[in-house]
């Protein structure tokens, strides 16, 4: 009877088994409508400390602090494989490499897949207004 009483308060320990997969967190850089068409052609995304970056999933990841991504339709995208930096510096570049604008941004990551227990991909966005 004592054994039943002691064991009834103890349930089995349940642990979540997470799949052994990786994901990338996506940063979307938005250039709102006040930019002249054709002005910004790329953005330079710089991490305050070394981070892993990739422009697209079909390109290899780059270990370092910065990466250039092309602007298409007023946006540029950069992926961070399995990392989510707290902040970045986004520099908007013209075709000749001239700096058109720069913005320090704190990132607010929102999980868009996976689970709370196991994690999953997240997204953040930064808007860089025209100068």
Closest CA to 90 of 76, 80, 79, 74: 76
Residue 21 lies in a domain: no
Task: Identify the domain containing residue 103 by its residue range.
Answer: 37-127
Asked if residue 13 is part of any domain, the answer here is no
pLDDT value at 68 more than 60: yes
Q: How many domains does the chain have?
A: 1
Please tell me the number of Cα atoms within 13 Å of 89 on its side-chain side: 12
What phi, psi does 4 have (nearest 5°)? -65, -40
Whether residue 118 lies inside any domain: the answer is: yes
Per-residue pLDDT tens for 17-37?
787 678 889 999 999 988 876
Helix (H, G, I), strand (E, B) or coil at 129: coil
- The answer to whether residue 117 sits within a structural domain is yes
22 lies in some domain: no
3-state secondary structure of 17: coil
Query: Rounded to two decimals, what is the model's pTM?
Result: 0.76
The average confidence (pLDDT) of the chain is 81
**Could you read off the pLDDT of 1-19 as tens digits, one per residue?**
444 444 445 555 667 778 7
Q: Does 43 reside within a domain?
A: yes
Distance CA 80, CA 82 (A): 6
């Amino acid at each position: 009877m004592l054994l039943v009483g002691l064991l009834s308060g103890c349930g089995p320990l349940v642990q979540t088994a997470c799949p052994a997969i990786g994901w990338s967190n996506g940063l979307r850089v938005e250039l709102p409508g006040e930019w002249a068409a054709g002005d910004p052609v790329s953005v330079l995304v710089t991490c305050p400390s070394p981070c892993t970056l990739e422009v697209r999933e079909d390109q290899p990841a780059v270990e370092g602090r910065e990466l250039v991504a092309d602007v298409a339709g007023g946006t540029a995208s950069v992926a961070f494989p399995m990392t989510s930096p707290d902040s970045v510096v986004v520099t908007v570049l013209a075709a000749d490499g001239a700096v058109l604008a720069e913005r320090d941004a704190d990132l607010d990551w929102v999980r868009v897949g996976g689970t709370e227990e196991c994690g999953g991909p997240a997204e953040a966005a930064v808007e860089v207004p025209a100068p």
